[in-house]
């Protein structure tokens, strides 16, 4: 049991609570995390009652997702205080690795896109089991129990409806090679869900040789490198008319703006790159009982409905995404989907980044 | 503060130690200050040096020794073009900022142009605008679909007239962005320069231009050099403008090059960024040594003596209205237009250029979202505490350091050099370094607001230093000598003679550091824990996930809040008879 250093008060409280919890349950933290005992939930609730708190690090939006998630969780388990810290993938990994190395772990559960596999590979996590994961499609859970998916993202292109006539909208990756789009395409660089994901998707779908030929042609389009700012702000620039077309953006963002009357729409290209956010448990977790209650809750129907309302795509098949977003779910649209797990993306990122630097920079 | 050292001050000599042949002699006070600085600055420096010479393992710890990052830095095919771009960009931005800022400061401090004092308000409003938003506002304005290009297209019937995504666009946006800072610093300098020399020159028949060139400019030279250095380095290490403007136009500079390389793999890798920072530290070290030599003869520039020193104003006659027009023009360009652009955008559901249609769509939705639970309300107290504490720590500390440096206390030159080091750390590197320091501390500081305050005090030390330095340089030692003769201790001299003379510079410095530290994003982001968030972190979240229109609304609220704080501060100090 490592001592928390975040505050002397928390240190004493945390140490006391944790040791009580362990004594009463008679189990190590790892046993709790991977418990499949029939009375698991009962044990977790008793333990969490003593732990009294749980800390979530997440990349989800605070107002629409984390805040309602915390409120609903604390309504269900009023004896656990849920606090959260929000950062992007890069920040989450930096903070998590610093905490684990210093054996001063504040986070109990870590959720985000691209965080999972990075953290697992770096040895920053421990395996865990949540029964709710059994209800998810197979690709959304790790057979070794290191991570469980929490939400899905579909990628597509955004186009300005004033600048791109309906009959000219690119419908396939090859349509992007049309000379009329030279200098008119933009994409987001500097993050693994940006250019590396786009390039990796093509490599996976077409094989290296054909992909290389495609990239040679694509590089002649002189794509604008959108350097700083989110995929969302890139869509905003398409709306503003700065760029007629943006590649590799979250396909639901244009739909949300379109519903407000903005001159923008999204188009799926086959196969649709799909990624999933995941959650992991850090090594040296201080509140294992409460962490497991929270993990259960996030993939429960109730938790997934909160994500769905926050404009995310749920991992559960029995929770539907927002109606306005349904058109870009590949299954609904009848378009083939290419699931790029964070493990795959992580493996390809460095080489895709090199392709970017050689051909597109 | 050690007020009484072993040696009693002799009349006319501030630091008797200077007379001793032993060059290594350091006054005890300086020693204490150096020790404080080292404690604050050495840990992140060690982290950087370490990162630059070692492989970063996937879990963030350091692996085998390597020189690969330095090799990569120098041998990369982007290095030389990027370095050239960086130099042009940093020089250009500094030139624009210094030129406009100096003109503005001259008009405000030296002439009787009507309404000139409002320039301070304008500068403070601009300083309250987070840099990222300021850049976005300029891009909305000058971008391909912006009103400026629309106008040019209509007037000249050209397909596309302006491409802001270019070196000149970067220099313009960055340079204009620094105008409020240069203006405030330059007016601090001018305010403490005796205008009687200029008057004497003009009485003897010199034209105002000549008086300006031969007297004003020369007297302000050391301070001006320091300021130029500050802006140059600031632009050199700036990130927002190169990333938003430069990358989109394929203009690569050093910072964006590092950014791209540090994001090459998925996991954190600070090696190349570390190598780059170390190179910059070395360059900066030489620049500061050079600047120190330049100000070696600082005595020649001391103009605040025992006699009345408040400068008198030059009567411009009818030209004073032209001077006011220049100020108004600058106010429009530097503050009104970009802030106006943000205000306009903040009321829209989406931005598609300045069109008549847009006006009919205006609504308060974005504000409703922000004022709702959370966001602002949770973090406002933390933010104000952070800004006030940082400024309150930095200002007196740097005033004392600057005084010792200017008075050439033995060893004090080192203070200046050490205090300038944080300037060249890219903020993201500094925050990772501090994260590493705090999370490993046995004192439970990690995740607390106090840790953010300590880190941002270090980050903004150099700004406080420049301000205090500019002010102190021109205070003649005869006042302090007079006090010494009358038996005052050094502490008494510092507090009763120096601080009142410096008051206006120190107050501006306080406000500046307050404004800068409250809007810093990457520094607090990694250091705060759940519950100790500050507002800029919320801003960052919006930046990552939000729409441009929501960001604009957040910016407008922010500017309003910062303006309120500044105005309140202004009124408070005025009541105490201190001009800001």
Full set of structural domains in chain A with CATH: 20-152+276-314 (3.40.190.10), 154-274+322-359 (3.40.190.10)
> CB neighbours of B414 closer than 8 A, spacing ≥ 6?
B30, B34
pLDDT one-digit tens code per residue, B191-229: 766 667 777 777 788 777 777 777 777 777 777 887 888
Q: How far apart are CA A119 and CA A96, in angstroms?
A: 8
Q: How far apart are CA B245 and CA B267, in angstroms?
A: 26
Cα–chain-centroid distance for residue B571?
23
Residue B407: pLDDT band (50, 70, 90) is confident
- Of the candidate ranges A85-99, B32-46, B366-380, B406-420, the one whose mean pLDDT is the lowest: B366-380
Q: From B552, which residue of chain A is nearest by alpha-carbon distance?
A: A233
Q: How far apart are the first and last CA of chain B?
A: 27
Cα–chain-centroid distance for residue A1?
30
Beta bridge partners of A55: A83
Contact B96, B175 (CB under 8 A): yes
Residues in chain B with CB shorter than 8 Å from the CB of A353 are: 263-265
Q: How far apart are CA B257 and CA B272, in angstroms?
A: 10
The token pair that represents A286 in the structure block = 């201080």
Question: Which DSSP category does B111 fall into?
Answer: B
Q: How far apart are CA B537 and CA B522, in angstroms?
A: 8
Contact B255, B238 (CB under 8 A): yes
Put simply, whether the predicted model's pTM sits higher than 0.90 gets the answer: no
Q: From B251, which residue of chain A is nearest by alpha-carbon distance?
A: A361
Helix, strand, or coil (residue A153): strand
Helix, strand, or coil (residue A248): strand
Residue with more model confidence, A335 or B301: A335
Q: How far apart are CA B403 and CA B414, in angstroms?
A: 13
Chain A nearest CA to B372, separation (Å): 9
Instruction: Report residue A187: phi and psi, to 5°.
Output: -145, 165
pLDDT one-digit tens code per residue, B476-524: 777 788 888 888 887 888 888 888 878 877 887 888 899 888 877 767 8
Best residue in B545, B546, B550, B554 to probe A by mutation, most A CBs within 10 Å? Answer: B545
Highest mean predicted confidence (pLDDT) among A326-335, B76-85, B548-557: A326-335
Chain A nearest CA to B428, separation (Å): 10
Q: How far apart are CA B185 and CA B505, in angstroms?
A: 8
Q: Give the closest of A11, A88, A228 to B244, CB-based.
A: A228
Beta bridge partners of A82: A54
Residue B294: pLDDT band (50, 70, 90) is low
Cβ distance of B266 and A88 shorter than 8 Å: no
Cβ distance of A97 and B244 shorter than 8 Å: no
Of B419, B395, B383, the closest CA to residue B520 belongs to: B383
Q: How far apart are CA A104 and CA B448, in angstroms?
A: 14
């040296």: which residue's tokens? Answer: A284
The token pair that represents A168 in the structure block = 């000219």
The interface residues of chain A toward chain B in range 282-321, judged by CB-CB distance below 8 A, are: none
C-alpha distances in Å from residue B381, one per residue of B394, B518, B534: 20, 11, 8
Q: How far apart are CA B88 and CA B198, in angstroms?
A: 34
Segment A313-329 shows an average pLDDT of: 91
ipTM reported for the complex surpasses 0.85: no
Proportion of chain A in helix, strand, coil states, percent, rounded to 5: 50, 20, 30
Q: Does B18 score more than 70 pLDDT? A: no
Contact B217, B210 (CB under 8 A): no
- Of the candidate ranges A3-7, A192-196, B576-580, the one whose mean pLDDT is the lowest: A3-7
């Amino acid at each position: 049991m490592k001592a928390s250093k975040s505050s002397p008060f928390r240190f004493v409280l945390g140490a006391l609570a944790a040791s009580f919890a362990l004594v009463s349950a008679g189990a190590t933290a790892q046993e709790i995390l991977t418990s499949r005992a029939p009375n698991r939930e009962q044990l977790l609730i008793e333990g969490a009652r003593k732990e009294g708190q749980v800390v979530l690090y997440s990349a989800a939006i605070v107002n629409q997702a984390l805040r309602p998630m915390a409120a609903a969780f604390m309504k269900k388990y009023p004896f656990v205080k849920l606090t959260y810290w929000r950062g992007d993938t890069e920040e989450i990994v930096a903070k998590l690795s610093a905490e684990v190395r210093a054996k001063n772990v504040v986070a109990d559960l870590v959720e985000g896109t691209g965080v999972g596999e990075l953290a697992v590979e770096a040895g920053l996590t421990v395996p865990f089991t949540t029964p709710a994961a059994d209800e998810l499609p197979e690709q959304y859970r790790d057979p070794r129990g290191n991570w469980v998916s929490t939400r899905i993202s579909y990628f597509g292109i955004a186009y300005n409806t004033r600048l791109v006539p309906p009959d000219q909208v690119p419908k396939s990756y090859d349509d992007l090679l049309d000379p009329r789009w030279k200098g008119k395409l933009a994409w987001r660089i500097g993050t693994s869900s940006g250019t590396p994901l786009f390039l990796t998707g093509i490599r996976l779908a077409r094989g290296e040789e054909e992909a290389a030929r495609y990239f040679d042609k694509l590089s002649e389009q002189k794509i604008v490198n959108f350097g700083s700012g989110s995929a969302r702000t890139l869509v905003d620039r398409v709306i503003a008319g700065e760029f007629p077309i943006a590649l590799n953006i979250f396909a639901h963002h244009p739909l949300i703006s379109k519903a407000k009357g903005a001159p923008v729409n999204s188009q799926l290209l086959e196969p649709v790159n799909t990624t999933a956010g995941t959650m992991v448990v850090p090594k040296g977790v201080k509140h294992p009982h409460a962490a497991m209650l929270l993990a259960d809750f996030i993939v429960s129907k109730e938790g997934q409905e909160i994500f769905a309302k926050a404009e995310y795509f749920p991992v559960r098949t029995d929770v539907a995404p927002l109606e306005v977003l349904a058109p870009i779910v590949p299954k609904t649209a009848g378009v083939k989907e290419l699931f790029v797990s964070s493990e795959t993306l992580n493996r390809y990122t460095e080489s895709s980044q090199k392709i970017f630097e050689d051909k597109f920079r | 503060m050690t007020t009484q050292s072993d040696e009693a001050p002799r009349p006319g000599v501030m630091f008797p130690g200077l007379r001793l042949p032993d060059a290594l002699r350091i006054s005890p006070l300086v020693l204490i200050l150096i020790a404080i600085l080292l404690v604050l600055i050495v840990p992140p420096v060690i982290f950087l040096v370490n990162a630059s010479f070692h492989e970063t393992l996937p879990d963030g710890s350091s692996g085998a020794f390597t020189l690969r990052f330095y090799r990569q830095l120098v041998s990369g095919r982007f290095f030389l073009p990027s370095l050239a771009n960086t130099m042009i960009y940093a020089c250009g931005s500094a030139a624009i900022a210094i030129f406009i800022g100096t003109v503005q400061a001259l008009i405000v401090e030296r002439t009787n142009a009507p309404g000139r004092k409002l320039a301070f308000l304008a500068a403070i409003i601009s300083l309250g605008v987070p840099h990222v938003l300021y850049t976005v506002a300029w891009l909305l304005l000058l971008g391909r679909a912006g009103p400026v290009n629309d106008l040019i297209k209509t007037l000249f019937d050209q397909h596309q007239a302006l491409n802001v995504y270019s070196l000149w666009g970067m220099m313009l946006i960055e340079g204009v962005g620094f105008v409020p800072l240069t203006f405030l610093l330059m007016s601090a300098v001018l305010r403490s320069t005796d205008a009687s020399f200029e008057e004497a020159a003009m009485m003897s028949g010199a034209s105002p231009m000549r008086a300006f060139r031969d007297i004003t400019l020369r007297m302000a030279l050391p301070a001006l050099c320091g300021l130029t250095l500050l802006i140059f380095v600031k632009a050199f290490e700036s990130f927002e403008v190169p990333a938003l403007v430069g990358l989109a136009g394929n203009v690569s500079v050093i910072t964006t090059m590092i950014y791209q390389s540090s994001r090459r793999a998925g996991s954190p890798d600070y090696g190349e960024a570390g190598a780059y920072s170390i190179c910059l530290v070395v360059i900066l070290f030489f620049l500061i040594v050079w600047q120190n030599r330049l100000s070696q003869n600082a005595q020649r520039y001391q103009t605040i003596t025992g006699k009345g020193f408040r400068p008198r104003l030059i009567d411009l006659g009818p030209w004073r209205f032209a001077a006011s027009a220049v100020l108004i023009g600058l106010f429009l360009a530097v503050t009104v237009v970009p802030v106006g652009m943000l205000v306009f955008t903040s009321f829209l559901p989406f931005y598609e250029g300045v069109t008549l249609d847009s006006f009919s769509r205006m609504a308060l939705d974005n504000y409703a979202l922000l004022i709702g639970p959370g966001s602002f309300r949770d973090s406002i107290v933390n933010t104000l505490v952070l800004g006030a504490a940082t400024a309150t720590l930095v200002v007196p500390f740097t005033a004392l350091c600057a005084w010792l440096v200017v008075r050439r206390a033995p060893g004090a030159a080192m203070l200046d050099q050490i205090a300038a080091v944080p300037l060249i750390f890219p903020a993201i590197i500094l925050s990772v370094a501090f994260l590493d320091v705090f999370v490993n501390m046995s004192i439970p500081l990690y995740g607390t607001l106090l840790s953010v305050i300590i880190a941002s005090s270090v980050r903004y030390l150099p700004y406080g230093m420049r301000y205090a330095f500019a002010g102190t340089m021109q205070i003649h030692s005869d006042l302090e000598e007079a006090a010494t003769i009358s038996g005052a201790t050094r502490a008494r001299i510092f507090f009763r003679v120096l601080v009142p003379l410096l008051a206006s510079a120190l107050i501006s410095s306080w406000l500046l550091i307050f404004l800068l530290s409250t809007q810093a994003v990457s520094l607090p982001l990694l250091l705060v824990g759940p519950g100790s968030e500050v507002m800029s972190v919320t801003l960052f979240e919006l930046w990552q996930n939000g729409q441009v229109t929501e960001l604009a609304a957040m910016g407008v609220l922010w500017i309003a809040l910062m303006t309120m704080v500044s105005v309140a501060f202004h009124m408070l100090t005025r009541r105490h008879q201190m001009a800001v």
